Amino acid sequence: MKRSWSRIGWVAAGAAALSVRLVAAQGDPLPSWNEGPAKQSILKFVADTTTAGAPGFVPPAERIATFDNDGTLWSEQPLYFQLAFALDQVKAMAPKHPEWKETEPFKSLLAGEVKGALAQGQKAMLEIVGATHAGMTTEEFRRAVVEWAGRAKHPRSGRLYTEMVFQPMLELLTHLRARGFKTFIVSGGGVEFMRAWVEPVYGIPPEQVVGSSGVVKFEMRPEGPVLLKEPKVEFIDDGPGKPVGINRFIGRRPIFAFGNSDGDHQMLQWTAAGEGRRLAALVHHTDAEREWAYDRQSSIGKLDKALDEALAKGWTVVDMKKDWRRIYPFEK
């Protein structure tokens, strides 16, 4: 054991030294962030927790950073992008489901009445998700998501959904990893939906994605084993489910967490309540021109109680309009 540990130590030390040098050579690690308290608090936290000998130093193994996805790493308006996928899938799958022409909520959806379909409430939503996210193998589902992500365009920007990620957050993910953090997504979105595309987009591997999930069943078929997605919710990784999901998948309390809505409130509380240096942060959507402006009254990404606690406790609040020089990578 001793020999193996010392070898791991050497490798880690080599990698760390190299990354620190490269960061230094690069200059500002967050060029899309304007100077201000948000950028300052993040850079100071990272420096304090990763500088050997500093009073806030945290060993590399404990440098866990968790990020919400919808509204934190990419946009979520005018509706969650995964819902856009589900609605597109209903259209794509309709030829194989003639009965949908006569069955709600599919009938409304196929007639182009999205609002009417969604207004039918949670039962309708579960039927849409069940029809588009289950009854197939995990591999079939993954291929459907990859295919969609490579072609579907956002209604306002005309860009691929995966282009509507936040450039300042990409820089932050990179900076954290360069300083030895392990970056995780902890999202209310479906874990298998995200895993199909997050690795090339965020540099986050599938095993570092925590999300909501449906029941999956192992089945031995003549051609070999498959994993079958069943139309049954298994876990909702939202609100109080986020610290539960973190405990289940990561098993270690983050020292850094970033969200944008009340669905992230308990994750931020759980992160902030740990011992030693902690950073809890929120993206506040304040830019109606370049992105969207919404908070306390929004049905998507409602930010109310978490904002109150953030202001009361001095958590980091990113004012998108003021703090971000650039929103999307495709902007000049």
Q: Does 111 bind a second copy (CB under 8 A)?
A: no
Q: Does 78 bind a second copy (CB under 8 A)?
A: no
Binding part of the chain for a second copy, among 1-9, 100-108, 146-154, 320-328 by CB under 8 A, reads: 1-9
Q: Which of 52, 98, 158, 220 binds a second copy (CB under 8 A)?
A: 220
Between 127 and 264, name the residue whose CB sits nearer to a second copy: 264
Residues in binding contact with a second copy, number by CB under 8 A:
60
Q: Does 136 bind a second copy (CB under 8 A)?
A: no
Between 99 and 223, name the residue whose CB sits nearer to a second copy: 223
Report, in Å, the least distance between residue 206 CB and a second copy.
Answer: 3
Sign of CA dihedral 111, 101, 233, 132: negative
Instruction: Tell me how far CA of residue 69 lies from CA of 16, 175, 201, in angstroms.
Output: 27, 18, 12
Between 122 and 218, name the residue whose CB sits nearer to a second copy: 218
Six-digit token string for 120: 């039918």
What angle (nearest 5°) sits at the alpha carbon of residue 153, between those of residues 291 and 92? 135
Report, in Å, the least distance between residue 215 CB and a second copy.
Answer: 9
Run of H or E residues at 97: none
Q: Does 4 bind a second copy (CB under 8 A)?
A: yes
Q: Does 1 bind a second copy (CB under 8 A)?
A: yes
Where do the DSSP E strands lie in 117-252? Answer: 136-137, 182-190, 209-221, 224-235
Instruction: Tell me how far CA of residue 176 lies from CA of 170, 171, 184, 318, in angstroms.
Output: 10, 9, 11, 17
Q: Which of 38, 124, 129, 178 binds a second copy (CB under 8 A)?
A: 178
Q: Identify any residues that bridge with 279 across adjacent strands, giving them in sequence order.
A: 256
State how far the Cα of 142 lies from the Cα of 159, in Å rounded to an integer: 21
Between 164 and 173, name the residue whose CB sits nearer to a second copy: 173
Q: Does 14 bind a second copy (CB under 8 A)?
A: yes
Q: Mask 292-321, x = binds a second copy (CB under 8 A)?
A: ------------------------------
Q: Which of 47, 54, 61, 92 binds a second copy (CB under 8 A)?
A: 61
Contact between 317 and 307 (Cβ < 8 Å): yes
Question: Could you count the other beta carbons within 10 Å of the beta carbon of residue 36?
Answer: 12
For residue 51, the 8-state DSSP code is: S
Q: Does 241 bind a second copy (CB under 8 A)?
A: yes
State how far the Cα of 184 lies from the Cα of 237, in Å rounded to an integer: 13
- Written as one string, the DSSP assignment of 106-123 is HHHHHTT-HHHHHTT-HH
Instruction: Tell me how far CA of residue 241 lies from CA of 37, 69, 99, 300, in angstroms.
Output: 30, 15, 36, 18
List binders of a second copy among 152-171 (CB under 8 A).
170-171
Q: Which of 95, 158, 222, 251 binds a second copy (CB under 8 A)?
A: 251
State how far the Cα of 91 lies from the Cα of 73, in Å rounded to an integer: 27
Report, in Å, the least distance between residue 108 CB and a second copy.
Answer: 33
Binding site for a second copy (CB under 8 A): 1, 3-5, 7-8, 10-12, 14-15, 18-19, 22-23, 26, 61, 64, 138, 170-171, 173-174, 177-178, 182, 184, 191-192, 195, 199, 203, 205-209, 213, 216-218, 220, 224-225, 227, 240-241, 243-244, 247-252, 266, 269-270, 273, 329
